[in-house]
Structure formats: structure tokens, C-alpha cells
Amino acid sequence: MTRLLTYALVAAAALAIVFWIGLAYWVNKDARRRIRRPSLVLLATVVGLVPYVGPLVYLLFRPAETRADVRSRNAELEALEAQVANRRPTCPECSAPLEADFLVCPVCTTRLREPCARCDAPLEPLWQMCPYCATPIEEQLDLDTALTREVRPAPALDLVSDARRSSADV
């Protein structure tokens, strides 16, 4: 019985040692994937060699991303920035590519900008002055606003007094 117990303890100790070495190997392999500086990889491996507590400490302090993930994310960001930098304007109606100085879309004839009254340069809708010839932009008459200003409120009808008058007349 003691011999069986001795074999069981030796097997458990061997399993614990193999598991400990496996954790230390995993910490080293993971640190090489996540950390660029060799001295920090060595430090992480030494921390990982502390039985069972070291890998837990490493898990708390390891970088969140692998170096390959960081490279991939940076490449994606650079590609998106290049795409945005080279992006040409498009028509809001038909998405046809446009030049910056187009007044109308050549595909669907949507009016994009108004020309300056003096130099015919394309003007953005919010501009108050032409930046090319310094001509103030005349505000075009907005019929909705003009008609709203002209409408006068109707006189309040006194229905109760009208009803009394009509009943007194009867």
C-alpha cells in the first residue's frame, strides 16, 4: 500500500512538474508573440518560471494585442487614411464621381453649387462671400419665409357672443 501511495505521489509530482514546464513554455512563446524587446521577453519567461503563480502574474501584465495584430491594425488604418485622402467627391443623388468645381452633376444634372454672380466660380451653399473675387453673395429670396412673414393672424372669433346675438335675434 505504501508502495502504491509512493508511485501515486511520484506520478502527481511528475505531472505537476510537466505542467509547470508547459506553463513556462507557453509564457515564453506568448511573450515572444506580444513583446518586441528581448529583455522583456526574458523577464516574462523568468516570471513564468515561478510555479503556477508566475503565469497568472504574466496574464495580468501582458500586452493585450499580439505584434501581428498591431501590424494588421496599423496597415488597415494606413489603407483607410490613404483611401480617405484620395477620395473624390461624389454626387449626392447618383454617386457619380465629380470634380471640385462642378456646378451640376454631369450624369443626373443635380444642381450642386451656384455660380458667383461676378466671376462664375462655384460657391458652397454656406458661403457668405466669394473667396475668389470677394463679392458678397446675395441672399436669394426664400418664398416660404417671405410668405410666412406676410401672413397675419386672423382675428379671434368670439363664438359665444355670436351665439348670444343670434339667440336674442330669434
More confident of the two residues 6 and 140: 6
Q: How confident is the model at residue 151 (pLDDT cuts 50, 70, 90)?
A: low
Separation CA 58–CA 56 (nearest Å): 5
Let me know: does 115 contact 123? Beta carbons within 8 Å: yes
pLDDT in tens, 82-94: 888 777 788 888 9
Instruction: State which H helix or E strand residue 122 sits in.
Output: strand 122-123
Question: What's the pTM value of the predicted model, to 2 decimals?
Answer: 0.49
More confident of the two residues 98 and 169: 98
Q: How confident is the model at residue 138 (pLDDT cuts 50, 70, 90)?
A: confident
Which of 134, 108, 138, 105 is CA-nearest to residue 121? Answer: 134
| Average pLDDT, integer, range 88-111 | 87
* 1-to-12, 13, 58 alpha-carbon distances in Å: 16, 18, 41
Per domain, the residue ranges of the chain are 2-67
Residue 108's CB is within 10 A of a number of other CB atoms, namely 12
- The share of the chain scoring above pLDDT 70, in percent, equals 81
Separation CA 26–CA 34 (nearest Å): 12
Q: What share of the chain is helix, strand, coil (3-state, %, to 5)?
A: 55, 5, 40
- b/e for 40-64, b at 16 or more Cβ within 10 A? ebeebbebbebeeebbeebeeebee
